[in-house]
């Protein structure tokens, strides 16, 4: 399959010209005005291509290209267009544009597929504005309660549902994608493996599970000069020691275990007051349910023991969890076969990042395609992928959609 490279480039450049930061990063936060502008363009391109457009109650946009067999289950491809603050040009967005171009290229080639082809743009995959990530796909898969998602607030106290209505993208529950033959998500790797190995394609077999924890340590705020070291209940010192210990434990646990402390906040945040309360976040990832549960419990135990040593109390709350995903072997095989036919240097790989595909895999047979990220940079303005890899990934997406139409899954 050959794509229209110029059309793909122009459309990607058009959306990536929306809400550009001073550092040349992307700022399309979920349900923002920038997100609405990008959605409007996508919808216009879908309609221009003759696709019917529907929107579900979480704001996910679907474009449908009809197949020839009304009894055949549809095949879905897509990702998301929302970004991190000051994020990159290709995270999520590549999957939507690759899916659109792949569907158009199939149509323009004259091939007739039995299945409808559906392009999906999921809402709030990043979780940068409304926490946690992957809210729309999570509702779609039955992981999250719709009203709980509607009530999620951003840092300004603005509700998800209110913003959904404001930008005009609250659709109907009946429009959710709940049944399909396959779901395929093209994506940049967001890691350094493919680039370091000089490979053009990642055949994604699954994704690490993710556990998110909120940690609040409570000690005693006191005067920085008059409180002897022996009398202190310093929440920040306890937090620092706990973070150091759980990091070492994660390393000792072994790959692919990873731990990240992305946020830390000490109160009362004065230079001459012993911190009385400290909050920090934990993001834990591992590739099996059993290992994830064990690593989470070890992490909690280490934090509790550390806090006991320092005479402070701790509250540990799990704010979300995504189970490790194992993708459908037939779809994985189709990606592998198509990559071999195109002579693309490729390897099987597991995703360290969370994607809408993780939740969708719980209800629909799922697979992913990775293209390389230069130096593994992502979630930042330096995120980049060679144009020839983007083209190859888009053409591969089209080839796989054609293969899936004939497969029994």
- Annotated binding-site members for Zn(2+): 80, 91, 126, 187, 379
d(CA 193, CA 370): 11
Q: Measuring CA to CA, which residue among 293, 206, 212 is closest to residue 260?
A: 212
d(CA 297, CA 306): 14
Binding residues: 80, 91, 126, 187, 379
SS3 193: helix
- DSSP symbol at 331: H
Q: Are strands 201-207 and 61-65 parallel, antiparallel or unpaired?
A: unpaired
- DSSP symbol at 284: E
**Token duo for residue 324:** 């490790």
Question: Burial code of 295-309, b = ≥16 C-beta within 10 A, e = fewer?
Answer: bbebbbebbeebbee
The answer to whether 77 touches 183, Cβ cutoff 8 Å, is: yes
Q: Measuring CA to CA, which residue among 65, 63, 66, 94 is closest to residue 80?
A: 94
- Continuous segment of H or E residues that includes residue 237: helix 235-253
Q: Which residues contact 305 (CB under 8 A, 6 or more apart)?
A: none
d(CA 363, CA 218): 41
What is the residue whose two structure tokens read 């790959």?
255
| Side-chain half-sphere CA neighbours of 225 within 13 A | 2
d(CA 158, CA 139): 20
50: left (phi over 0), alpha (psi -120 to 50) or beta: left
d(CA 183, CA 78): 8
The answer to whether 205 touches 361, Cβ cutoff 8 Å, is: no
What is the residue whose two structure tokens read 């009362």?
268
- Note if the bond before 272 is cis, omega within 30 degrees: no
């Amino acid at each position: 399959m050959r794509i229209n490279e110029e059309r793909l480039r122009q459309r990607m450049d058009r959306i990536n010209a929306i809400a550009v930061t001073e550092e040349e990063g992307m700022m399309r936060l979920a349900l923002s005005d920038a997100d609405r502008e990008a959605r409007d363009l996508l919808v216009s391109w879908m309609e221009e291509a003759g696709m019917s457009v529907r929107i579900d109650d979480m704001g996910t946009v679907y474009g449908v290209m009809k197949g020839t067999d009304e009894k055949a289950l549809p095949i879905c491809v897509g990702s998301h267009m929302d970004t991190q603050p000051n994020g990159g040009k290709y995270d999520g967005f590549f999957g939507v544009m690759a899916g659109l171009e792949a569907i158009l290229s199939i149509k323009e080639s004259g091939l007739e597929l039995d299945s409808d082809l559906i392009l999906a743009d999921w809402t709030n995959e990043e979780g940068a504005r409304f926490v946690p990530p992957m809210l729309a796909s999570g509702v779609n898969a039955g992981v999250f309660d719709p009203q709980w998602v509607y009530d999620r607030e951003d840092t300004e106290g603005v509700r998800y549902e209110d913003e959904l209505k404001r930008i005009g993208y609250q659709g109907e529950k009946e429009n959710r994608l709940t049944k399909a033959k396959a779901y395929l998500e093209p994506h940049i790797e967001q890691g350094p493996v493919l680039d370091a190995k000089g490979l053009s394609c990642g055949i994604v077999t699954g994704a690490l599970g993710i556990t998110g924890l909120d940690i609040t340590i409570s000690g005693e705020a006191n005067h920085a000069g008059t409180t002897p070291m022996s009398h202190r209940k310093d929440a920040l010192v306890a937090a620092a020691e706990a973070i150091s210990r759980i990091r070492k434990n994660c390393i000792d646990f072994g790959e692919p275990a990873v731990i990240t402390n992305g946020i830390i906040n000490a109160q009362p945040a004065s230079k001459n007051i012993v911190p009385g309360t400290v909050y920090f976040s934990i993001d834990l990832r591992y590739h099996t349910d059993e290992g994830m549960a064990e690593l989470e419990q070890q992490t909690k135990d280490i934090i509790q023991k550390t806090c006991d040593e320092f005479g402070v109390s701790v509250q540990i709350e799990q704010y979300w969890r995504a189970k490790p995903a194992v993708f459908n072997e037939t779809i994985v095989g189709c990606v592998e076969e198509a990559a071999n036919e195109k002579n693309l240097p490729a390897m099987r790989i597991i995703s360290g990042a969370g994607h809408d595909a993780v939740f969708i895999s719980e209800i629909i047979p799922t697979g992913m395609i990775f293209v390389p990220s230069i130096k593994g940079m992502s979630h930042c303005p330096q995120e980049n992928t060679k144009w020839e890899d983007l083209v190859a990934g888009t053409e591969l997406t089209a080839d796989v959609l054609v293969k899936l139409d004939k497969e029994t899954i």
